[in-house]
Amino acid sequence: MEYEQLKLSNQVCFPIYAASRLITRAYQPLLEKLDLTYPQYLVLMVLWENDRVSVNEITHKLILNTNTVTPLLKRMEVQGLITRKRSEKDERSMVISLTKKGLNLQEQAAEIPMQLAGKLDVDDLSIDEIIDLRDKLNHLIQAIKN
């Protein structure tokens, strides 16, 4: 019995899953120099755009759950990248802020997107194709969320 829909080559989900891991692998040597993991880098990107946010805002922006983000932030606190303080307005809420060290990393991190692009074979992939890919993925994300 043949089930065409069960072939790996016919899947959309598998390439997304594989691409996600390949990208994390590609980032890894670049982020290692800053002593960061990819999820930690994402948290910093959120904070560089908007410092002093709640755990809740971070989970929403990164589409992660608290049980992932809380330990992640605790590790980042130990590394001296961020601080965690209870909000005075709402004692339930945690305010996450950049330390000087976390803020200063931004300058070095700014080099990373270009360095990563260098890892892609330009013959295989154009800028237009990447932008189209990004937009279609955002469509897919919306379609799953709905």
Partner DNA sequence: AAATTTTATATCGCGTGCGATATATTTTTA
Partner DNA sequence: TAAAAATATATCGCACGCGATATAAAATTT
Tell me which of 34, 37, 38, 57 binds its own copies, using CB under 8 A: 38
For residue 97, give both structure tokens: 């802020």
Residue 118: phi, psi to the nearest 5?
-65, -20
Instruction: Looking at residues 39 to 78 of the shown chain, list those that interact with DNA (rule: CB under 7 A).
Output: 39-40, 54-56, 59, 64-68, 70-75
The site map against its own copies for 47-86 (x = CB under 8 A) is -xx-----------xxxx----------------------
DSSP string, 52-77: SEEHHHHHHHHT--HHHHHHHHHHHH
Task: For the chain, state the CA radius of gyration.
Answer: 18
Residues at the site binding DNA, with contacts judged by CB under 7 A: 17, 21, 24-25, 28, 37-40, 54-56, 59, 64-68, 70-75, 84, 90-94
